[in-house]
Structure 1
Amino acid sequence: MTRRTPPALAGRLLDITRIYHEPDIERFPRAQQVLARFPAAERIEVPSHQANPGLYGNAGNVEDWVRIKREVLVLGEKKGLSARRNERSSDWIAPSTANGCAMACSYCYVPRRKGYANPITVFANIERITGYLERHAARQGVKPEPNQCDPVDWVYDIGENSDCSADAMVSDNVADLVELFGRLPNAKASFATKLVNPALLDYQPRGGTRIRFSLMPEQTSRVVDVRTSKISDRIAALDDFVDAGYEVHLNFSPVVVHENWLADWAELLQQIADGTTVRTRRQLAAEVIFLTHNQDLHDVNLGWHPTGEELLWRPDLQQAKRSQNGQWNVRYKSPWKGRWVDQLRDLIATTLPDCRIRYAF
């Protein structure tokens, strides 16, 4: 079988020279694996992965945003384990096996953690996390009725605060999760990604992992999707991941509105239709999420990537709205946004008629 998935971007994304780690981290086999993977890296002991004097809370790091993402790794232990109800893209948010990211999307909602740049943190107590998830899934039993997350399985988001495709370049945590959900009855893993990592094609998902490839028009992605796979490469990988046993969905997020946005989306949707097989298109489902931005993130972005803000910060199109956590965000104005959501829904229904929309807002 011929694969169209391009080579991984590990050489460009990661060149780890410093590893911040909690005390006695080598008691975990997973930590030993990660340290052995980067033997030349300087090791710096810190009180905890969050109490990190070299990174945490250092706003000046915004000037070294990309360098920190490329060169720094954090190793810690995940202390509190809980699965949080979600009921949007998943039934549950699984306890993290990593957080942070090697990529640098300028709309990311968690950029200020660990010194703004937010490099990858790997949690080394993977056996405890997978054990918790296996027990939690067993307690749920059979899903009583279909919902927008899945008609059959309880869905666990395993990548809320990281990109699992990038995490898999650092440790085997993602491989362990895919193996776990490949054998659990009534449960399915899910994560969104902007990175094509061919190593995941060699895992054995057995239909137990849903990958949600994030897509947006190429021209917009070139500006705001910093250090990610090209949109064309993500589309080219869809068939390969279906063939490898994954459920593949699309994450149309964020939808960034500008003067030619709808024409750009029409072109993107046609590229997906033309670049995938019937088998792939028939199992597609999509989430549609229009951009949410905020003043603090806007100010941070002006310090490292002001060009992106020309697309993301549009006071003429946006209005302030308080979020569920009490923060003030900016979203596209009502009722314009409602009309735009309907226009994009109609476009998807016309170009990708087999792709159901799980939710749109």
Structure 2
Amino acid sequence: MAARLPLDVRQIYLEPRAAALPRGQEILRRFPDAERIEVASHWNIPGLHGNAGLVKDWLRVKRQVLVLGFRKTLTMRPNGRSADFIAPGLANGCALSCAYCYVPRHKGYANPITTFANIEDVLAALRRHAQRQGRKTEPNTVDASDWVYDLGENSDLSVDALISDNVRDQIELFRTLPNAKASFATKYVNRDLLTYDPQGRTRLRFSLMPPSVARVVDIGTSPMSERLAAINDLVEAGYEVHLNFSPVIIFDGWTNAYTELFQQVDAVLSPRAKAQLAAEVIFLTHNVGLHEVNLGWHRKAETLLWTPQWQETKQSEYGGTNLRYRRGLKGKAVERFTALLRRELPYCTVRYAF
């Protein structure tokens, strides 16, 4: 486990139904001194969600507040990029404070972790869905032989594992599914994961970016040097470890910075880690609402994320206004990035880039 913990839980908002479950009781025992506040719904907490006055307490709320809820929706959504399916997450929100994170767009001015206690419902839904799929008969860019389920679309499972055994239980489930593999992206080094014995059935995607940029936008995460240093150990512990270059942020000197990062990766990885390496590449999409939130707690980040001279607006499918790099610029940038990656890390398969 990393020496510096991102959590200091002092207040727990809880749904009584969740608190009564065995996993809910386990979580409450883990934080015995935290104040407990009953709420009707984990999605609508007066004074927390939508409270503009909390934006200046962004970091404190993330570290000190936990929401304990009951997961109702158990749908598996088709994906096709990071995974074949997006699984129903056992958490929503994060104690880390990446300035580009899209999850706060849906929660308003506070984005602490909501963790779900009905673990058995989620495990059963995963098992049933995988069994219905049968064997994967045609390889795709996600995986050559297994159906891959993303477990952490809206959270960081390495941090979630500090709260309960939900992550361990999911990894143990996938050891028993002969046709399916778990996957999640992370920016936090939790060395307890080395004891989970995934047996090659869990893919961990380490998010990487140049350290100078990460120090500005990846608040509360593990330093890039720690993430790189953990890759070989995780491979030896039985994980498949890929790289997640997301988001790629364009700034003056960005190609030189990424060239240096690729060279650091090459210098650190063991032959075994290199042999199984693959990467996904996603260029930054920013959001007008998130920009306004960030101005309230971390204006410096917006000098990197909000660059209208290189960006154009586009309405999202949820009705918000997003900023993406201009079409011609982005196409050339993606080509430049992937060319650099193939030159410096020729053994690293690029699963997709956009």
Give the TM bin, normalised by the shorter chain: over 0.9
Correspondent of 1:42 among 35, 45, 68: 35
The residue that corresponds to 2:2 in the other structure is 7
Q: Give the alignment partner of residue 168 of structure 1, picking from 157, 161, 171.
A: 161
Contact conserved, 1:294 with 1:328, CA < 8 A, in 2? yes
Establish whether residue 76 from structure 1 lines up as the match of residue 69 from structure 2. yes
**Which of 155, 164, 175 in structure 1 is aligned with 2:148?**
155
Name which of 279, 288, 291 aligns with 2:281.
288
Q: What is the one-letter code of the residue matched to 2:4? A: L
Report the 3-state secondary structure (helix = DSSP H, G, I; strand = E; otherwise coil) of the residue aligned with 1:335: helix
Instruction: Give the equivalent residue in structure 1 for 2:309.
Output: 316
Moved more, 321-330 or 343-352: 321-330
Residues 210-244 of structure 1 show CA distances to partners (whole Å, capped at 9, x for unaligned) of 00000000000000001000011101111011000
CA 261–329 in structure 1, closer or farther in 2 if over 3 Å, else same: same
Tell me: CA distance 1:41–1:340, structure 2 relative to 1, closer, same or farther (3 Å): same
For 1:19, which of 9, 12, 37 is the aligned residue?
12
Confirm or deny: 8 A CA contact 1:66 1:117 kept in the other structure.
no
- 8 Å Cα contact 1:224-1:308 kept in structure 2: yes
- Return the alpha-carbon distance in structure 1 between the equivalents of residues 267 and 78 of structure 2: 37
Cα distance in 2 for residues equivalent to 1:185 and 1:357: 25
CA contact (8 A) 1:57 1:113 kept: no
Paired residues in the alignment total 354
Contact 1:106-1:226 within 8 A present in 2 as well: yes
So what's the TM-score if we normalise by structure 1? 0.96
Other structure's SS at 1:65 match: helix
Asked if 1:359 is matched to 2:338, the reply is no
SS in 1 for 2:235: helix
Shift of 1:253: 0.7
| Structure-2 separation of matches of 1:290 and 1:266 | 16
User: Equivalents in 1 of 2:20, 2:293: separation in Å?
Assistant: 37
* Contact 1:212–1:251 (CA under 8 A) maintained in structure 2: yes
Alpha-carbon deviation of 1:348?
A: 0.7
5 Å matches for 1:155-234?
155-234=148-227
Q: Give 1:310 deviation, angstroms.
A: 0.5
**Counterparts of residues 8-157 of structure 1 (less than 5 Å):** 8-10=3-5, 13-157=6-150
Counterparts in 2 of 1:318 and 1:114: CA distance versus 1, 3 Å = closer
Q: Distance in 1 between matches of 2:77 and 2:2?
A: 35
Post-superposition offset of 1:198? 0.4
| Aligned mates of 2:213, 2:75 — CA distance in 1 | 36
The CA deviation string for residues 38-66 of structure 1, in whole angstroms up to 9 with x for no partner, is 00000000001112113122122111100
More deviation in 157-166 or 52-61?
52-61
Partner of 1:343: 336
Separation of aligned partners in 1, 2:17 and 2:143: 41
Q: 212-221 or 288-297, which moves further after superposition?
A: 288-297
Residues 168 and 174 in structure 1, CA contact (< 8 A), matched pair in contact too: yes
Distance in 2 (CA, whole Å) between partners of 1:358 and 1:136 is 24
Check conservation: 2:18, 2:118, Cα contact below 8 A: no
Q: Which segments of 5 or more consecutive residues in structure 1 lack a partner in the other structure?
A: 1-5
Q: What 5-or-longer segments of structure 2 have no aligned partner?
A: none
User: What SS is found at the alignment partner of 1:349?
Assistant: helix
Distance across 2 between alignment mates of 1:73 and 1:253: 26
Q: 1:8 to 1:86 in 2, by over 3 A?
A: farther
Q: CA deviation at 1:183?
A: 1.5
What TM-score results when the alignment is normalised by the length of structure 2? Answer: 0.98
Conserved? CA contact 1:8–1:197, under 8 Å: no
**Residue 88 of structure 1: how far off its partner (Å):** 1.1
Q: 1:199 to 1:139 in 2, by over 3 A?
A: same
Q: Alignment partner of 1:160: what SS? A: coil
Q: Are the aligned partners of 1:83 and 1:92 in contact in 2 as well (CA < 8 Å)?
A: yes
The CA distance in 2 between the partners of 1:25 and 1:126, in whole Å, is 10
Aligned to 1:3: none
Give me the whole-angstrom Cα distance separating, in 1, the residues matched to 2:11 and 2:111. Answer: 14
Structure 2 Cα separation of the partners of residues 230 and 28 of structure 1: 36
Give, in whole Å, the separation in 2 of the partners of 1:322 and 1:355.
34
User: What is the alpha-carbon root mean square deviation over aligned residues?
Assistant: 1.1
Equivalent-residue separation in structure 2 for 1:17 and 1:282 (angstroms): 44
CA contact (8 A) 2:99 2:217 kept: yes
Deviations 1:297-336 (A, max 9, x none): 1111111000000011111111112334343211111211
Deviates more, 1:328-337 or 1:164-173: 328-337
**Which secondary structure does the structure 2 equivalent of 1:303 belong to?**
helix
- Matched-pair contact (CA < 8 Å) for 2:51–2:110: no
* Contact 2:86/2:151 (<8 A) preserved: yes
